[in-house]
Structure 1
Amino acid sequence: MIQWSETHQSVRDMVRDFVEKEIVPQLDELEYGGLPPYEILRKFVKTFGLDEMAKASFERRIAEDQGDKKPAADTPRDAALSLIPTIEISRHAQGLVTAMGVSMGLTGGAIMSKGTLEQKTRWALPLLTLEKVGAWAITEPNSGSDAFGQMKSTAKKVDGGYRLNGNKTFITNGPYADTIVFICKLDEEGVPAEQRKIVSFILDSGMEGLEQSKPFHKMGIGSSPTGELFLQDVYVEEDRLLGGSVNSYGRGGAKATFAQERAGIAAMALGIIERALELSVEYAKERKQFGQAIGEFQLIQLKLANMEVARVNVQNMVFRYIEMSQQGLPMSMAEASSMKLYAAQAAMDVSTQAVQIFGGNGYMREYRVEQLMRDAKILQIYGGTDEMQVLAIAKDLLR
C-alpha cells in the first residue's frame, strides 16, 4: 500500500467533517473542563454504524460458540477503516481515541477473547457498542513497566468465590467505568509472590468495597478520564473469574492485550504529526518578522522539512501495517515495537518543533500546538515506555 484509496479518502473526509462539527466546538470542555467524552463518542459510534457492526460480529461469535454455525473462514479485514478514525480524531483530541479504545477494544476485547460464553453474553456487547464504559485495570502505584513483578493486588479463594483487595492507578475510564477487568495475583498459601498465578475478574461499578476515584488532572489527553480504583474485601462469585479458570487469562492473555493496545499508537502519532505540520505551515506563511514571512527563513524551512520527513516515515509505517494486516501477516515483536518507538518519538519531536515555530504564541492554548505537544508525550509512556520498546526490540533480535 502506497496511498489511501478513494474509499479511504471518502471515509477520512466524513470522519474529519464529524470531528470538525461535533468535537472541535467542545474541545476546551473536553480537555480542560471535565466534560466526560462518552456521549460524543456514542454519537460517533452511531453515526458511522460501528454499533451495528459490533452487534453483527458479536452475534456471529456467540452463534459459533454455541455451535449453531461453523466458524467463519478468516477474511482479511481492511485495517485502514479502523485506523483512519484514530488518525483523524487524534489530530484534535487523542484522549477520545484512548477512552474509546480501552472501553471497546481492551475491555470488551478481553472478555470476547478469553471470557466464557456466559461472560460474553452478560458483559461484552454493551462494551463493544459503548452503551457501557469499560476499564482494564493492571497498573498499580508501585508498578509500571514491571506490571507483574510489582503487582500487590490479590484474589483469595473463599467459599463460593473470591475476596479481592488492591489498588490500581492510571486507569483509563476508571472514574466512570461500568465494567472493569481487574487483573491481580492469586493468593495461594505457600506460593511466593513472584510465582503466583495472574488472574482476572469482571467487576461492576457499585460493588461493595469497590471505590472509583474522581478523574486525575493530567499533563495531556484531558479528554480521556483517568483515575484510581480501590478494592477492600470485594466479594465476587466464581462466575466473574475471566475465562472460568485461574489458568484462562494469565500473563499471556494480558501480554496479548498489551500488543493490541500498542497497535494504534502509530496512527495516533500520525494524526498529531499531520496536524502539527499543517498548523506550522499555515503559520510560517502568515507570520511576518523582519519584513518577511518566517517561512522564508532557512531555519524555519529546516524544521518544516524535518517534520515532513517524520510524517512520511510514520505514514509509511502505518501503510505497511495495513498491508500486512490485509495479507494476514503478523509483525514481529521487533518490528511492532520499532514502529511504536519511532512513531511516539516522532510525534513528540514534531509537536515540540511546532511550538518552537509559533514562538510565544505556541505556548498559548488558543493556537492548539501546545496541546498537541502535551498529548504526544503520553505516546512515549503508555502502551510500553520507550525504554521497554528498546528492550523488546533487542531481545527479539537476539533471540
Structure 2
Amino acid sequence: MYQWTDEQEMVRGAVRQFIDKEIRPRIDEFEHGDTPPYDVLRKLFKDFGMDVAARERFAKGIEFEKRVAAAVEAGETPPEKPKRDGGDGGASSLTLIPIIELCRVCPGMVTAMGVSMGLTSAAISSKGTIAQKERWVPELLTLEKIGAWAITEPGSGSDAFGSMKASARRDGDEYVLNGSKTFITNGPYADTIVFICKLDEGNDPSERKILSFVLDKGMPGLEQSKPLRKMGMHSSPTGELFLDDVRVGIDRLVGETEDVASGGREGAKATFMQERSGVAAMALGMIEECLDLSVQYAKDRVQFGQPIGEFQLIQDKLARMEVARLNVQNLVFRTIEMSAAGHSMTLAEASAMKLYSARAATEVALEAVQLFGGNGYMSEFRVEQLARDAKVLQIYAGTDEIQITHIAKDLLRR
C-alpha cells in the first residue's frame, strides 16, 4: 500500500466535513472551556455508523469464541479462525482515518477516545473471560461508556511495575483494593476502569503478581478527581484515582484467575503495544496539519519585499516537514497492511514506530512555530496548540528512552 484508495479518500473527506462542522468552530470550548469531548465523539460514531459496526464485529468475535469453547469442552477440534482478506486494510484503515483527521484539529480527543475504546476494551478483550467481555466491552467500543486504563502511580512512571504500590489483598471470596493512580486519561469521567495492581500475599513487593480488576464508577471507596491542568491535550481529561478498601469479587478480576500469564504483566504489555502503534496515526495528523498551515503561511507572509517561502531557510523547514510526513505515512500504511494480513507487530517494532513518529511530530510542530515566528507563539495561529499537544507523544505510552531500551534489547537478543 502506497496511497489511500478511492474509498478511503471518500471516508477522509466525510470525516473532515464532520470535523469542520462539529469541532473546528468549538475548538476553544474543548481546549479551554473544560468541555468533555465525549458527546461530540459519540455523534461522530453514530453519524458514521461506527457504533453499529463495532457491535457487529464484537458479536462475531464472541460467537467464534463460544464455538471454540464449546468444541474444546466436547473434546472436538476447535474451528479455525476466519482468515482476513488481504485487501486494503479494511476495518484497520477505517479506524485509523478518523484518528489522523481528528489529530489535525484536536489531538486530545483521540487520546480520550483511544484509551476508552482502545486500551480499556483491549485490556478486557485480550485476557478477560467471555462473560467479562460481554459485560463491559460492547459499551466501551461504542463510547456509550467511557473507559480508563489505570497503571501509572505518583511514585512510578517508566518503572510502572517495579514501583507499583497499588495492592489487592484476598479477604474470603473477595479482594480488597487500595492505592492511587495518576495521569489517568478519562479518569475524572470514566464509567469503567481497568485497575492494575499487585497481589499482596505478605511477600516481597518485587515478587508479587500483577493483577487487573475492572471497576465501575461510583463503587464504595473509589474516588475520581477533577481534571488536572496540563501543558497540552486539553481536550483529553486527565485525573487521579484513589482507592480505599474497594471490595470486589473474582468476577471483576480480569480472566478470573491469578495466573500471571493470563492476567498480569503480559496483558499490560500487549496493551502498551497497541497504544504505541496508534501513536503513528496521531503523529501523522499533527504533521499534516502543521505542514499545510506552514505552506500557506509561507505563501502569504511577506518580509523583505517577498513571501517568506522564497527564502531557502524556510524552504528547508518545509522540505524536512514533507520528509517526516512521508516517513510517518508509510509507517501507518505498514500498520494497515499488517492488520489486513493478520499479523501483529513485535514490542520492538511498535516501540520503533512510536519513537520515530513521536519525535517527528514534535520536531515538525516546533519548526512550524519557528516558521510562524511571533505569530506561531500565539494561540490563534494554531501551531502553538499543536506544538504543546505533540510533546506528550514522547512521554506517554512509554517515554522515548523506554522505547530505545525495548528496541535495543530486542536487537541484542538476536
Please classify the TM superposition score into its range, dividing by the shorter chain length. Answer: over 0.9
SS in 2 for 1:264: helix
Matched residues in 2 for 1:31 and 1:233: separation?
Answer: 35
Moved more, 317-326 or 11-20: 317-326
Residue of structure 2 in register with 1:219 after alignment: 231
One-letter amino acid of the structure 1 residue matched with residue 99 of structure 2: T
Counterpart contact for 2:151–2:196, Cα < 8 Å:
yes
Matched residues in 1 for 2:392 and 2:116: separation?
Answer: 18
Moved more, 75-84 or 243-252: 75-84
What whole-Å deviation, never above 9, does each CA across 1:228-272 have from its counterpart, x for those lacking one?
000011111221111101113100111001101111111110100
Where do 1:230-245 residues align within 5 Å? 230-245=242-257
Counterpart contact for 1:211–1:230, Cα < 8 Å:
yes
One-letter amino acid of the structure 1 residue matched with residue 151 of structure 2: I
One-letter amino acid of the structure 1 residue matched with residue 214 of structure 2: I
Counterpart contact for 1:165–1:232, Cα < 8 Å:
yes
Matched residues in 1 for 2:271 and 2:198: separation?
Answer: 17
Q: How many residues align structurally?
A: 398
Residue of structure 1 in register with 2:75 after alignment: none
2:87 is equivalent to residue 75 of structure 1: no
Residue of structure 1 in register with 2:158 after alignment: 145
RMSD: 1.4
One-letter amino acid of the structure 1 residue matched with residue 371 of structure 2: I
Residue of structure 1 in register with 2:29 after alignment: 29
Counterpart contact for 1:156–1:163, Cα < 8 Å:
yes
Counterpart contact for 1:135–1:181, Cα < 8 Å:
yes
SS in 2 for 1:66: helix
Matched residues in 1 for 2:151 and 2:80: separation?
Answer: 32
1:120 and 1:331, CA in 2 relative to 1: closer, same or farther beyond 3 A? closer
Q: C-alpha displacement at 1:105, in angstroms?
A: 1.0
Q: C-alpha displacement at 1:302, in angstroms?
A: 1.0
1:226 and 1:71, CA in 2 relative to 1: closer, same or farther beyond 3 A? farther
One-letter amino acid of the structure 1 residue matched with residue 82 of structure 2: A
Residue of structure 1 in register with 2:204 after alignment: 192
Residue of structure 2 in register with 1:17 after alignment: 17
Matched residues in 2 for 1:346 and 1:57: separation?
Answer: 34
Matched residues in 1 for 2:54 and 2:230: separation?
Answer: 31
Residue of structure 2 in register with 1:202 after alignment: 214
SS in 2 for 1:200: strand
Q: C-alpha displacement at 1:106, in angstroms?
A: 1.0
Q: C-alpha displacement at 1:71, in angstroms?
A: 6.1
Q: Which residue, 134, 148, 154 being the options, matches 1:121? A: 134
Query: TM-score, normalized by length of structure 1?
Result: 0.97
Counterpart contact for 1:269–1:346, Cα < 8 Å:
yes
2:57 is equivalent to residue 48 of structure 1: no
Residue of structure 1 in register with 2:111 after alignment: 98
Matched residues in 1 for 2:237 and 2:178: separation?
Answer: 23
One-letter amino acid of the structure 1 residue matched with residue 279 of structure 2: I
2:145 is equivalent to residue 136 of structure 1: no
Where structure 2 has 5 or more consecutive residues not aligned to the other structure, the ranges are 72-78
SS in 2 for 1:323: helix
One-letter amino acid of the structure 1 residue matched with residue 269 of structure 2: K
Counterpart contact for 2:117–2:147, Cα < 8 Å:
yes
Where do 1:231-380 residues align within 5 Å? 231-247=243-259, 248-380=262-394
Residue of structure 1 in register with 2:74 after alignment: none
Matched residues in 2 for 1:334 and 1:61: separation?
Answer: 28
2:101 is equivalent to residue 88 of structure 1: yes
SS in 1 for 2:263: coil
Q: C-alpha displacement at 1:119, in angstroms?
A: 1.4
1:109 and 1:10, CA in 2 relative to 1: closer, same or farther beyond 3 A? same
Matched residues in 1 for 2:170 and 2:403: separation?
Answer: 36
1:57 and 1:219, CA in 2 relative to 1: closer, same or farther beyond 3 A? same
Residue of structure 2 in register with 1:168 after alignment: 181
One-letter amino acid of the structure 2 residue matched with residue 221 of structure 1: M
Matched residues in 2 for 1:244 and 1:139: separation?
Answer: 23
Where structure 1 has 5 or more consecutive residues not aligned to the other structure, the ranges are none
What whole-Å deviation, never above 9, does each CA across 1:197-230 have from its counterpart, x for those lacking one?
0001110111111000000111111111000000
Q: C-alpha displacement at 1:324, in angstroms?
A: 2.4
Matched residues in 1 for 2:317 and 2:219: separation?
Answer: 53
Counterpart contact for 1:64–1:71, Cα < 8 Å:
no
SS in 2 for 1:99: helix
SS in 2 for 1:34: coil
Percent identical pairs in the alignment equals 63
What whole-Å deviation, never above 9, does each CA across 1:31-58 have from its counterpart, x for those lacking one?
1110000000100111111111111122
Q: C-alpha displacement at 1:337, in angstroms?
A: 1.7
Counterpart contact for 2:276–2:353, Cα < 8 Å:
no
One-letter amino acid of the structure 2 residue matched with residue 286 of structure 1: D
Q: C-alpha displacement at 1:72, in angstroms?
A: 4.5
Matched residues in 2 for 1:122 and 1:267: separation?
Answer: 30
2:182 is equivalent to residue 178 of structure 1: no
Matched residues in 1 for 2:374 and 2:345: separation?
Answer: 42
Counterpart contact for 1:276–1:372, Cα < 8 Å:
yes
Counterpart contact for 1:55–1:125, Cα < 8 Å:
yes
Counterpart contact for 2:195–2:214, Cα < 8 Å:
yes
Counterpart contact for 2:352–2:407, Cα < 8 Å:
yes
SS in 1 for 2:105: coil
SS in 1 for 2:23: helix
SS in 2 for 1:163: strand
1:332 and 1:106, CA in 2 relative to 1: closer, same or farther beyond 3 A? closer
